[in-house]
Amino acid sequence: MVNPEEAELVKIIYQKYVYEDMGLDTLASFLNERGYKKKKNRKCELDYFTRGMIKNILDNPVYVGKIAYGKNVTEKVKGTRDEYRRVKSDEYLLADGIHDAIIDEELWMTTRVKRKATGVKWNKTHSLEHEHILSGIIKCPICGTGLSGTVRRRKNKKTGDYVDDFYYRCQHRHKIDDEHFCNFQPSLNQDEFNHEIEQVILDMVNHDGFRKFVEEKLNTKVDVSALEEERERIRKLLRQVLGAKTKLTDMLDKLDVMDKHYDRKYQDMHDRLDNLYDKISEYEDSIADITARIEAVYGNQITGKQIYDILVHFEMMYYKMTDLEKKEFMKDFINSIELYPEKMDNGSIVKQINFKFGVYYEGQETMDIRLLNEKTVECVVGMQRKHI
- Statement to judge: residues 79 and 54 lie in one domain: no
Domain at 25, CATH number:
3.90.1750.20
- The count of other CB atoms within 10 Å of the CB of residue 364 is 12
Q: What is the DSSP letter of 342?
A: S
Query: What interhelical angle do 51-58 and 4-19 show, nearest 10?
Result: 90
The per-residue pLDDT for 13 is 93
- Statement to judge: residues 342 and 212 lie in one domain: yes
Question: 377-380 and 188-189 as β-strands: parallel, antiparallel, unpaired?
Answer: unpaired
- Statement to judge: residues 7 and 106 lie in one domain: yes
The per-residue pLDDT for 51 is 79
CA 244, CA 290: separation in Å to the nearest integer? 24
- Statement to judge: residues 22 and 106 lie in one domain: yes
In a domain, 302, yes or no: yes
Question: Do 364 and 381 form a contact (C-beta atoms < 8 A)?
Answer: yes
Question: Do 134 and 12 form a contact (C-beta atoms < 8 A)?
Answer: no
- Statement to judge: residues 299 and 237 lie in one domain: yes
In a domain, 198, yes or no: yes
Looking at the 3D structure of the chain, how many domains does it have?
A: 4
Exposed/middle/buried for residue 263 (C-beta within 10 Å: 0-12, 13-18, 19+): exposed
- Statement to judge: residues 105 and 253 lie in one domain: no
The per-residue pLDDT for 375 is 46
The per-residue pLDDT for 107 is 92
- Statement to judge: residues 299 and 351 lie in one domain: no
Of 252, 277, 310, the residue that ends a domain is 310
Show the domain range for 346: 194-219+314-380
Q: Which residues of the chain have pLDDT under 70?
A: 1, 40-47, 71, 73, 76-87, 89-90, 92, 119-126, 172-176, 178, 218-223, 295-304, 372-388
The per-residue pLDDT for 383 is 38
- Statement to judge: residues 263 and 350 lie in one domain: no
- Statement to judge: residues 235 and 199 lie in one domain: no
Helices and strands, counts by H and E, the chain: 10, 12
- The count of other CB atoms within 10 Å of the CB of residue 102 is 20
Question: Do 338 and 200 form a contact (C-beta atoms < 8 A)?
Answer: no
Of 310, 337, 357, the residue that ends a domain is 310
The per-residue pLDDT for 373 is 57
